[in-house]
Structures are given as C-alpha cells and as structure tokens.
Amino acid sequence: MIISALPPVLQSGKAFGPFAFSLYLLAIGAAQFKPNISPTLIDQSPHKKAHIITDKNGEKVIVDPEESINSVMLWFYLLINVGAVFGIPTTYLAKLVGYWAAYLIPTILYLMLPPLLWYLNPRLIKQAPGGSDLGNVFKVLGDIFAHGGIKKIGRAGFWDLGKPSVRRAAGSTKDYAYDDAFVNDVKRTFQACAIFLFSPIWQINDYGLGAAANALTAGLDTKGLPNDLFDNLNSVSIVVLIPFMNHIVYPFMRRKGIKWGSISRITFGFALGTIGSIGYGLLQYYVYQTSPCGYNASTCTEIVAAGEPALSPIPYGLYAIPVILGAISEVFVNVSLYGIAYAMAPRNMKGLVASLNLFSSAITAIIGLAAAPAIKDPNLVWVFFGPTIAGGILTVVFWILFRKLDDDDFVLNTDLSDMKRDSDASDEDIAPPAQTDKQVMAGEKKQ
C-alpha cells in the first residue's frame, strides 16, 4: 500500500495493481485475526462462573463473570480505538505529505506485533483445538425439521425436537455425538445470530450510508481542515468514555443493585445511534437551505465561478455532535455484542459466531455499495432520514423481541477444566445470581 502511494508510482499510472493487492491482503488478514482475537481475550479472563470470595475486609462478595467479561471487552474496545486515533495524524500526513506517509504509521505499528505475539504466546491460556461443532448443528436442525419442526418455527418446543433425550423417548436408536445441553447451546447461538441481524441498520446510522457523511461535509466550510478530520472524534470519544463507564458508572450501578443487562445496553446504543442519525439528517437539511447552490451543495464548488462562495456557512463543528453520539452508542452496542458472541456460542464455535457478528459490517458495506447511485444531491436528506426511521422502528422491535434475555442466567458455553485459574477458587460456587448490592466485577472492591 505504501508502494502504491509513492509519487513515482502514482505518476506512472500503475498504482492500482499494488493498491488492490494490498487491500485484499489486509482483508484476508483481518478475516483471520478479528474473529479470533475477542474469544482469545475473553479466554484470559480468570472468572468463568459466578462464585463467592471473601475480600480483604472479611466480607463475602459475589464475583460476576458477566460483569468481568464486559470489563475485559471495554478495555479491548478502548485499545482498538487508541489505534484508530492515529487517524488524526494520518489525515494530516495524507493532506500535507502524501498517502504513502499516512500508510507508513500503521505499517510501523504492524511490524511491532510479531515479536509481541511471540512473547505472549507461551503466557496465554489457549483452548486446545477440538474441531468444529458446525456439523452437529446441522444434525440438530436436520432432526428438528424431520420431525415437524417447520410447523413449530418460532414456537415453544421447537428446539426440544432435536434433543437426543426426546428422540430416544420417541423410539430413536441413533447414536448421538452431542447431548441435550448442546442443543440448548445451539438455541442460544441462533438467538445471538438473530441479535446480530439488527446491527447493520445501526451501523448505517452510526457512520452514515456509504459515502453520505463525506458528501455532507463537502458542502461545509471546514476552514482549511481536512473534511474527514471530525470523523476521528469517534475514536477519541470512545477512548475518553470507556474509563468513565468502567470505573464510575458501572461500579455505581452494581453498588446500587441496578442490573443493566446486555440487551438493555444494546437497545440504549441503538437509540443513541438513531438520535445521532437524526443529527446528520438535520445538518444536511440546513446545509441545503444555506448553500449557494441549494440542493447541489456537495458539488457546489464545481458549479459556481472561481472565487464565488460555494460552501454553507453552517459551522463545521456541528458535524461533531452526531459523530460523538455514534461513538457513545458503540460503547454499548459493540462491547455487548462481543460478549454475546462468546457467551452464547458452543465451545468449538466461538470463532465462527464471532465472525458472524463481524459479518454485519460486510452487510452494511454491501448496502452502502448498492445504494451508492442514490447517495448524491439532492437526495442526501433522505439518505440519512430513511435509515433513521428504520433504525427507530427496529430499536423498538429489538427490545420487544429480546428483552427477556436480560432475565436469563448468564451462562458461558465452555469447558472450564482446561482454562481454570487460581482466581476461580471460591469459598462457595453458586448458580448465576440475581443482581444484588454485593455483586461485583472481578477484582472490584465492594464499597
């Protein structure tokens, strides 16, 4: 990618080949890395089940694995966005020096990773490869649909049709490579995948459909700043917000006995994303109203004569408001989805379910590409408001469909025998508890 952006290569007209090749390599690398990194990180959490410990003050407290995993994923997401903050210097490097210099910064960071991974490898807790359970999932579904499951889709008893105990009671003599608990795991996996289906519309409202956000800023007077500079406030806001949530808000809620489960957090994030998208739409509307070219604001500089006003006088800083709202929504949505993808997947399918969660980004990109011909003047107001309306409706639908999952006991579908740490030792192992004022995240001192 650096080579493709060098001035001699650009001037030769041969930059497309190496750039396309580098882009595909990055995509392949991301496809290998991203679905595996979040399960591996959660594997390092020493707290896989709820248990009671005695703190240094002699008080017994409950260590909650759900809260522990949420904390781990918050820090993980913070570090992702620490890297994304480098978009600020790279934006200026691209503008002032060239794209080759902008690509050089992430290249240097990438070169640091192999020795770091080599150092960490023997120190990590790793699940031994156990093959994939995907084949067993299809066997479960096959049994269900072979015994009347089509008529029970969406109804109680649908998953019971695939349980070995039910099949044996019905006279089956087949040998099963899985048990009833695995069928329950498959049920939870499909619930997780249904949750992931709501993510693309939120992502569209978070970033804007396709290149709509860039078209919006093209009509604003940025006072010489790069028109994508404020997009980097997304990462900055996340880096600032996560420590506040992790050390102040969530501990306060736990001390007060307030249970704010994953579904509630995701719903709140969806609502924030919708509100942020309203901001994009309103800003675009007023840009059209104040632009010298009216509803041709994004291409006004190509229409008016040189030296004539071509930009809306609306302050560029207002664009930061929906960007920051979208960033806040990510802290609630993405972090919760990482935990759901891990907790609700069978032991040997955690990477696959994590990849299905990430696949929602691909769906968002496909929708953006399909809508590209419409992302232009004078359609931009509805390019923002259309997904906003859909996002508002789907937020309500999401809450109605999944709100009861917050009341379910938190269960990790994993074998603890090969991942147990000393910190899992407890005075008393317990069933996943109801939220109380003595329930704490791993390592958090009860106040």
Q: Report residue 158: phi and psi, to 5°.
A: -60, -50
| Ranges of H-type helices in 147-261 | 164-169, 180-196, 199-207, 212-218, 233-244, 250-255
Q: Using a CB cutoff of 8 Å and minimum separation of 24, what contacts does 237-241 make?
A: 237/323, 237/324, 237/327, 237/328, 238/77, 238/78, 238/81, 238/327, 238/328, 238/330, 238/331, 239/78, 239/81, 239/82, 239/85, 241/327, 241/328, 241/331
pLDDT of residue 60: 76
Residue 302: burial class (beta carbons within 10 Å; 0-12, 13-18, 19+): exposed
Question: Of the candidates 127, 192, 220, which has an alpha carbon nearest to the alpha carbon of residue 408?
Answer: 192
Instruction: Give the integer Cα–Cα distance in Å for 391 and 354.
Output: 23
For helices 199-207 and 380-402, the axis angle rounded to 10 degrees is 140
> 133 in helix, strand or coil?
coil
Q: What angle do CA 347, 51, 420 make, to 5 degrees?
A: 45
pLDDT of residue 273: 95
Instruction: Give the integer Cα–Cα distance in Å for 368 and 383.
Output: 10
> 312 in helix, strand or coil?
strand
Task: Show Cβ contacts of residue 105 under 8 Å, excluding neighbours closer than 6 positions.
Answer: 86, 89, 90, 93
pLDDT, tens digit (0-9, with 9 covering 90-100), for 90-141: 888 888 888 899 899 889 988 998 999 899 988 888 777 767 788 889 999 9
pLDDT of residue 337: 93
Q: How would you write the pLDDT of the chain (447 residues) with one tens digit per residue?
A: 999 999 999 888 888 999 999 999 998 988 888 888 888 888 887 766 777 777 777 777 777 778 888 888 999 999 999 988 888 888 888 888 888 998 998 899 889 989 998 999 888 887 777 677 888 899 999 999 998 888 888 788 899 999 999 999 988 888 888 889 889 888 888 988 999 999 999 999 998 888 899 899 989 988 877 777 788 889 999 999 999 999 999 989 988 888 888 999 999 999 999 999 999 999 999 999 999 999 999 999 888 888 788 899 999 999 999 999 999 999 999 999 998 888 888 777 888 888 989 999 999 999 999 999 999 999 999 999 999 999 999 999 999 999 988 887 666 655 544 444 444 444 444 554 444 444 444 445 443
Catalogue the E-assigned strands of 1-59: 51-54
List the domains of the chain with CATH numbers. Answer: 36-97+189-440 (1.20.1250), 140-172 (no CATH)
Question: Of the candidates 257, 146, 214, which has an alpha carbon nearest to the alpha carbon of residue 375?
Answer: 214
Tokens of 251: 């501990």
DSSP code of residue 152: G
pLDDT of residue 127: 75
CB 328 within 8 A of CB 241: yes
